[in-house]
Amino acid sequence: MGVNRTALIQVLGAVAYGELKAYEGAKEQARTASTDDERRVWKTQAAEELRHHRGFVKRLEALGADPERAMRPYRRALDSYHSDEPHDDIAAAIWDYLGEGVADDLLGWLRLVVDEETAEFIETVAADEVNHEARAAAGIRGRLHTPADHREAMLATMRMVGRMLASGAPDPRPFLAFVRLGRTPELLGALVGGQIRRLQSIGLRPLGVGVAA
């Protein structure tokens, strides 16, 4: 394959568990939805996230890996991050939007460094995620009406990034697999560029508070 097999298995384990958490989150959103239309949207998204999770599990099995073992090192960090998600509407929407965005950016980079079959599956995942992101961004824009709303959104962004970093701090070693897989500058560029683009998409200045020009 021309890639570090061990690092690939570890990264796919992180992605597979991330998709499982995304499925659980969408399923909960469907359960608590206030309208039938909203419930249908979240049920559809939950089904897509479950398909993604199962697909990455199959890729791990195709590599001769134990999916549960591959996911295990990332459970604590991802569970910790998701357990601390806020409950007020704007902050919760920001966390979901940007958290999913990080996952999408990781997949965009991963597509560059994996084997052809895994890359083809990632393409199908990315197609779903485009729609997820568009809906999430539209929902947030619909909530940001005043300067106070924009300040709350930026504060939620900063808390979300801080919490994401803190979640992996107790044991960052599993995340070094992303570096070992290669093309690290492109990975960092994708993560930073993706967050800036998403903030601009919802009308925020990436380096300040307020509506983007």
Highest mean predicted confidence (pLDDT) among 69-78, 159-168, 189-198: 69-78
CB 202 within 8 A of CB 196: no
Once rounded to an integer, what is the mean pLDDT over residues 154-161? 89
CATH architecture of 5-201: Up-down Bundle (1.20)
* Longest CA–CA separation in the chain, Å: 53
What is the spatial distance between Cα 149 and Cα 48, in angstroms, rounded to a whole number? 31
List pLDDT tens digits, range 63-73.
999 999 999 99
List pLDDT tens digits, range 26-65.
999 999 988 999 999 999 999 999 999 999 999 999 999 9
**For the chain, what are the domain ranges?**
5-201
